[in-house]
Amino acid sequence: MAKERGFDLVLISPGAVPPVCRIADCGKLKYELAKKEKEARKSQKGGGLKEVKISPKIADHDFNVRLKKARESLEKRHKVKVSMFFRGRWMAHVDLGMKIMDRMIEAVADLGKPESRPKKFGKNFVVIISPK
């Protein structure tokens, strides 16, 4: 029947008893599958991590700007990476940096929670905040 109509016989389910086949145009079938895969990739969430950089000597206004950006990202369901860089003598005042980091975590507590305590990577302190 497939040859008479000019189509292909496509095996759908070989494990079934009897095996299930379909009369279809193989090229069209491949095209539709590729189109479905493309749509699935398009709807996937990509780039879900946003970064906010602060310093231990950040001014109140600058802190509020970074806080606003972090809150916007959390509202959009993105993770936020808050990183703090210590330069030179600032390393002697890690406790002040931790207070600012804790202040940031408390300010976004209604929208997200930290995955862990702030971690030190060389001269950086990093914490990742996940949306609730």
| CATH number for the domain harbouring residue 9 | 3.10.20.80
Number of Cβ within 10 Å of residue 76's Cβ equals 10
Confidence (pLDDT) at 46: 60
* CA separation, residue 12 to residues 16, 40, 73 (Å): 9, 21, 44
* CA separation, residue 38 to residues 26, 28, 97, 126 (Å): 18, 15, 45, 35
Residues 116, 86 share a domain: yes
Asked whether the predicted pLDDT for residue 92 surpasses 80, the reply is yes
Name the percent of the chain lying above pLDDT 70. Answer: 98
Q: Across all residues in the chain, what is the average pLDDT?
A: 89
Here the CATH number for the domain that contains residue 76 is 3.30.110.10
Asked whether the predicted pLDDT for residue 17 surpasses 80, the reply is yes
CA-closest candidate to residue 81, choices 60, 112, 44, 46? 112
pTM here is 0.63
Asked whether the predicted pLDDT for residue 5 surpasses 90, the reply is no
Confidence (pLDDT) at 41: 82
Confidence (pLDDT) at 77: 87
Domain of 38? 2-42
